[in-house]
Structure 1
Amino acid sequence: MASPSEPAAFQVFDGDLDAAWTERYRASGALGVDTETMGLVHGRDRLCLVQLCDREDGVACVRIARGQDSAPNLQALLEDAAVEKVFHFARFDVAALACGLGIRVQPIFCTKVASRLVRTYTPRHGLKDLVNELTGVELDKQAQSSDWGRVDELSDSQLAYAANDARYLLSARDQLEQMLRREERLELARRCFAVVPLMADLDIQRFTQVFEH
Structure 2
Amino acid sequence: MTVTLHQDDLPADLTFGEAVAVDCETMGLNLQRDRLCLIQLSAGDGNAHLVQFRGGYEAPNLRRLLADPQVTKIYHFARFDVAAIERYLEVTAAPIYCTKIASKLVRTFTDRHGLKDLCNELLGVSLSKQQQSSDWGAAELTEEQQRYAASDVLHLHALRQRLDEMLEREGRRELAEAMFTFLPTRARLDLAGWDEIDLFAH
TM-score interval for Structure 1 and Structure 2 normalised by the shorter chain: over 0.9
CA distance in 2, matches of 1:200, 1:65: 24
2:51 to 45, 62, 68: 62
Question: What residue number does 1:120 align with?
Answer: 108
Aligned 8 A contact 2:78 2:98 in 1: yes
Q: Does 1:107 align with 2:100?
A: no
Question: What residue number does 1:203 align with?
Answer: 190
1:154 to 141, 146, 151: 141
Question: What residue number does 2:12 align with?
Answer: 19
Q: Does 1:39 align with 2:32?
A: no
Tell me the CA shift for residue 202 of structure 1.
Answer: 0.6
Q: Does 1:130 align with 2:118?
A: yes
Question: What residue number does 1:79 align with?
Answer: 67
Question: Residue deviations 1:17-38, cap 9 Å, x none?
Answer: 01122xx22xx11111100000
SS in structure 2 at match of 1:20: coil
Amino acid in structure 1 at the alignment position of 2:80: F
SS in structure 1 at match of 2:102: helix
Q: Does 1:180 align with 2:167?
A: yes
Question: Residue deviations 1:60-98, cap 9 Å, x none?
Answer: 0000126x1321111110111111100000000000001
Q: Does 1:88 align with 2:76?
A: yes
CA distance in 1, matches of 2:127, 2:44: 18
CA distance in 2, matches of 1:162, 1:69: 19
Consecutive unaligned residues of structure 2, counting only runs of 5 or more, are: none
Consecutive unaligned residues of structure 1, counting only runs of 5 or more, are: 1-6
Amino acid in structure 1 at the alignment position of 2:193: R
| Identity, % of aligned positions | 49
Amino acid in structure 2 at the alignment position of 1:180: L
Q: Which runs of 4+ in 1 moved over 4 A?
A: none
1:98 to 71, 86, 94: 86
CA distance in 1, matches of 2:110, 2:141: 35
Aligned 8 A contact 1:70 1:102 in 2: no
What is the root-mean-square deviation of aligned Cα atoms in Å? 1.0
Q: Does 1:171 align with 2:158?
A: yes
The total of aligned residue pairs comes to 200
Amino acid in structure 2 at the alignment position of 1:169: L
Tell me the CA shift for residue 211 of structure 1.
Answer: 2.4
SS in structure 2 at match of 1:100: helix
SS in structure 2 at match of 1:77: helix
CA distance in 2, matches of 1:51, 1:110: 15
Aligned 8 A contact 1:84 1:108 in 2: yes
